[in-house]
Amino acid sequence: MDKVQTSIRTANTPAVLVDLDIARRNIERFQAYAETHGLKVRPHIKTHKLPAIAEMQLRAGAIGITCQKVSEAQAMVDGSPEIRDVLITYNILGTEKLDHLAALARKVTLSVVADNETVIDGLSEKFASEPAPLTVLVECNTGADRCGVPTPEAAAALAQRIANAPGLKFGGLMTYPPAGGAGAVEAFMTRAKALIEASGIAVPVITSGGTPSMMDAAEAPVTTEYRPGTYVYNDRSLVSRGVCGWDDCALTVLATVVSVPSANRAIIDAGSKTQTSDLLGLTGYGHVLGRDDIAIDQLSEEHGRLVSQGPIDLKVGDKLRIVPNHACVVTNMVDAVHIVENGAISAVWPVTARGRIV
């Protein structure tokens, strides 16, 4: 982590800036909400991919972290001795991944999820000969229609299979619900929990997630744990949903105007290689801070096109800060982020778990 002290005005662009003061405030805000409602917090690190920010989350009261891929978990655990409890919310398959998973399970408290028998059987085969059983939660589909068993009955059947499988321990239920899905989570999980407990198996954890609905997490009181990700940085998608304001956005893209080819068009040096093409249902690609009149209507890889109804009033060399549509995917584009404290760049942090896709 190079220590630097650079004015944002003189930084080489494009650059991804992370304001630690804002991130800390975001972390504390949700932690306070969760504690009020008796919920444990297990942040998803996909948003920052940084051991140092995971440490901020743990010190604020999080019980552990969530990762999506085994290689991501490895990078985070190797990056911080404070990360001792990891949930990987993914169906894990294949010799190479299972070997890495077993190595990780010997280092930290580890749990994973499964939504099918093939995955459970593969985990069991691997962990039957490991020193300790692996904790496996059942992933449930509560309306997002991605992974997950479709019914409480199917969840109960898989819980039974896990409980009976050599090398495994049933850990509970997991879901990634659609926005506004607290009611669906409550209904599914209450029924699944009752079915599983009726067969004599305890359900120690019921974990839900998603930043858009995090301030309604308590509306599903059956849940014991919540896994917000984007909340640490926030983004244009969350501002548009009314979840936060621009001042709560910790991650911004610093860009330079490289061309003003016409009166209402300007081009910046941050395209899809920095901002990504994620739309998340929005129109346009990011919000230029302080310039509500400008839309970013087109990205190519290294160019962002800004258009305005009236004169765009920008000149070549001007620097702009952009709140991207989706913060998590921006983090994954860059080898390093520039840390902002007290309004200046104080450090450059390599994005430890960037590009960990396996």
- The residue ranges that bind a copy of itself (CB under 8 A) are 12-15, 46, 68-69, 90-91, 93-94, 96-97, 115-116, 118-119, 141, 145-150, 256, 258-262, 265, 267, 269-270, 272-274, 276-279, 298, 300-303, 305, 315-317, 328-329, 332-335, 355, 357-358
- Residue 84 or 303: which CB sits closer to a copy of itself? 303
Phi, psi of 209 (to 5 degrees): -160, -175
- Structural Rg of the chain based on CA atoms: 22
- Which residues, listed in sequence order, are joined to residue 16 by a DSSP beta bridge? 253
- Pairwise CA distance, residues 3 & 290, whole Å: 29
Q: How far is the CB of 325 from a copy of itself (least distance, A)?
A: 10
Q: How far is the CB of 200 from a copy of itself (least distance, A)?
A: 27
Q: Which residues contact 86 (CB under 8 A, 6 or more apart)?
A: 64, 65, 66, 67, 73, 76, 77, 104, 108, 109, 110, 111
Q: Is 210 helix (H, G, I), strand (E, B) or coil?
A: coil
Alpha helices in 10-116 (DSSP H): 20-36, 51-59, 70-79, 95-105
- Residue 39 or 312: which CB sits closer to a copy of itself? 312
- Residue 39 or 76: which CB sits closer to a copy of itself? 76
- Residue 41 or 306: which CB sits closer to a copy of itself? 306
Amino acid identity of residue 128, one-letter, is A
- Residue 3 or 315: which CB sits closer to a copy of itself? 315
- Residue 224 or 240: which CB sits closer to a copy of itself? 240
304, 312 Cβ separation under 8 angstroms: no
Q: How far is the CB of 262 from a copy of itself (least distance, A)?
A: 6
How far is it between the farthest Cα atoms of the chain? 71
- Pairwise CA distance, residues 189 & 221, whole Å: 10
- Pairwise CA distance, residues 68 & 356, whole Å: 10
Q: How far is the CB of 190 from a copy of itself (least distance, A)?
A: 21
- Pairwise CA distance, residues 333 & 322, whole Å: 15
Q: How far is the CB of 94 from a copy of itself (least distance, A)?
A: 6
178, 144 Cβ separation under 8 angstroms: yes
- Residue 34 or 347: which CB sits closer to a copy of itself? 347
DSSP 37: T
- Residue 18 or 39: which CB sits closer to a copy of itself? 18
Q: Give the helix/strand (H/E) hosting 346.
A: strand 344-350
Q: Estimate to the nearest angstrom the gap between the alpha carbon of 307 and the chain centroid.
A: 31
Q: How far is the CB of 21 from a copy of itself (least distance, A)?
A: 25
Q: How far is the CB of 61 from a copy of itself (least distance, A)?
A: 26
Q: How far is the CB of 45 from a copy of itself (least distance, A)?
A: 12
Q: How far is the CB of 113 from a copy of itself (least distance, A)?
A: 10
- Residue 22 or 306: which CB sits closer to a copy of itself? 306
Indicate the Cα dihedral angle 54, 146, 29, 1, nearest 10°: 20
